[in-house]
Structure 1
């Protein structure tokens, strides 16, 4: 009897232990499920990264610098003897306008110059380049001026970073380039560290809210299709000296730029210049001095907008020295522009007939079949 009671007691104890073990296992399992639910909940509720819009390109970035600082604008040497250039492929907006002798110079705008170590070569400024920079609220970086440009800067109290005063602070001379046969005027460069030093030397602060360059499409907004014409290739001329060509690349959805019969390359990257947006704007351009210096009205005119392998006519307006360049549809509404880098050619009215547009293959977002000019 006593032995049977001991056996029954042992069985009850064993049963209780098994029940307790199962309960603990179930509790632990629930805990793991709850942990997974909690982790999943925490993961899904993690805050999204704050994104900022680059005011010159309309593209998104995680760096708030672009919304808190004004851009810089660098005068770029574009004569054939000065090629190749450095840093221009990183420009957010690249202007090109004819200068004396039929050559062109460029104005490269950077929302954030800090990531571009070498830019140039750099040349002297002209009044219309100053006006273009002022329209963006940009600080001009240049190496000298024409006397007309010097007067304009003085009369309007415009502070710039000029290599004539800051040659060893804001610029550097490329000795290797000079020794290889380039003229001295094609060997002066600037870049991120040098621009910072030049701004500090002139006590110029870029802090402030930058101006938005264009009326950009939103990141998730559908681009309105162009019904005007296709544009696989665009040929235009600034003068008898300088012909340019834009060729649409379907792989990158950009226009690649050619000049002097060859691709225009940024030597820093080895890549051909490529732009989401290209604008050819016509204006009155004329000689204003015995030295052959040119003048440019920069008041208002017409032109064309090229993007996605298609194009359409537009109008533009600037006006005052500090006024922004504004682009319009034919109906007078402000033109909507795709986010991305932009090239803007300002061409004399006398060269309008030199513009040729080749339709090529079907363009993105284009429903027409006939090229028009």
Structure 2
């Protein structure tokens, strides 16, 4: 009987010990599936780089940059813009795709700003009068030419069918300009993007480029920049124009040339930002006085000549040719190849041959 009770006691003891062990095992943490896998061999999800397809976009005829394909069909406008100290800052000028600067009388220059995407501009100008040679430069880009009056030598061509234009001084064109009374006349005439568009419709001008229109310039792409490897270093470009004394300084960070004049940065009054462009073309032209009494210049836009192409901190000599008033200007390198611009804005400087040597291109 005693042996039987001893055996029962042993069995009970074993059962209690067994239960305790199972309880401790059940409390032990379960290792995770990656606990013993080295961190550097753990799989990570691959995230591919986003690919820009430029869906709905095309290359601009005027800058070579991507833009909305619908806006790329818009016909541009060319606006005559004053460039004297009393008019600073000009407005909307930073949105221009192309800027022409030409000498006029008295040592001053005047600008022609060419816009394709202009509809949203709130203030453009100030707007001043036409000079004959500007008409032919505007014609090169299929632009509608906006001006406020003109020299007498431009009247015949403006009144012909040669170029679509809107005069802010005479006729119905005045309705599309306004005076800013915070400045004195005649330096206070402005327009807007909305007015530019309305004027084109009112005059019945085509608002779209011809279906067969091709780009005025040839462009590279952002991935294949024209580095002008054989060119001279051009970190600063100073121009001879005696009133504004303008110059450009190259910024290696963004690859743009920043514009200065009258001893300071040239600013767009609409944005407060300094003007900057990717390309500069110096186009040397024959010049003479059409009117010695008033000092009215005549610039030969047709006979061809020399110049410089400047981009990416370098400059190379070029030549230029234009077959007729209805044709465009073509620019060539010394080996006879047409120049290829880098995508971005372009500033064309019309230079009198007799003064070209006074322009300075420097490495500092």
Matched, 1:115 2:117: no
Secondary structure at the counterpart of residue 109 of structure 1? strand
- Displacement, 1:292? 1.9
Aligned length, in residue pairs: 311
> Structure 1: which 4+ aligned runs deviate by more than 4 Å?
none
TM-score (norm 2): 0.81
Which of these residues, 320, 326, 341, is aligned with residue 324 of structure 2?
Answer: 320
Which of these residues, 218, 231, 235, is aligned with residue 234 of structure 2?
Answer: 231
Instruction: State the distance in 1 between where 2:77 and 2:53 align.
Output: 33
Aligned residue number for residue 296 of structure 2? 293
Between stretches 115-124 and 157-166, larger displacement belongs to 157-166
Aligned residue number for residue 207 of structure 1? 208
User: Is the Cα–Cα contact under 8 Å of residues 85 and 266 in structure 1 kept in the other structure?
Assistant: yes
- Displacement, 1:72? 0.7
Q: Which runs of 5+ in 2 are unaligned?
A: 1-49
- From the superposition, tell whether residues 157 and 134 of structure 1 become closer, same or farther in structure 2 (CA, over 3 Å): closer
Which of these residues, 272, 277, 282, is aligned with residue 275 of structure 1?
Answer: 277
Secondary structure at the counterpart of residue 119 of structure 2? helix
Aligned residue number for residue 195 of structure 2? 194
User: Is the Cα–Cα contact under 8 Å of residues 49 and 62 in structure 1 kept in the other structure?
Assistant: no
Q: Deviations over 1:176-217 (max 9, x none)?
A: x23xxxx31111001211112211221112222344121111
Aligned residue number for residue 30 of structure 2? none
Instruction: State the distance in 2 between where 1:222 and 1:159 align.
Output: 35
Secondary structure at the counterpart of residue 146 of structure 2? strand
Aligned residue number for residue 337 of structure 1? 341
- Calculate the aligned-residue CA RMSD, in Å: 2.1
Aligned residue number for residue 13 of structure 1? none
Matched, 1:50 2:75: no
TM-score (norm 1): 0.79
Instruction: State the distance in 1 between where 2:195 and 2:114 align.
Output: 16
Q: Between Structure 1 and Structure 2, which shows a larger proportion of helix residues?
A: 1
Q: Which runs of 5+ in 1 are unaligned?
A: 1-43, 361-373
Instruction: State the distance in 2 between where 1:257 and 1:344 align.
Output: 13
Between stretches 47-56 and 248-257, larger displacement belongs to 47-56
- From the superposition, tell whether residues 198 and 329 of structure 1 become closer, same or farther in structure 2 (CA, over 3 Å): same
- From the superposition, tell whether residues 197 and 155 of structure 1 become closer, same or farther in structure 2 (CA, over 3 Å): closer
Matched, 1:64 2:53: no
User: Is the Cα–Cα contact under 8 Å of residues 233 and 247 in structure 1 kept in the other structure?
Assistant: yes
- From the superposition, tell whether residues 156 and 202 of structure 1 become closer, same or farther in structure 2 (CA, over 3 Å): closer
Which of these residues, 251, 254, 268, is aligned with residue 253 of structure 2?
Answer: 251
Instruction: State the distance in 1 between where 2:80 and 2:317 align.
Output: 28
User: Is the Cα–Cα contact under 8 Å of residues 281 and 346 in structure 1 kept in the other structure?
Assistant: yes
Aligned residue number for residue 35 of structure 1? none
Instruction: State the distance in 2 between where 1:93 and 1:47 align.
Output: 27
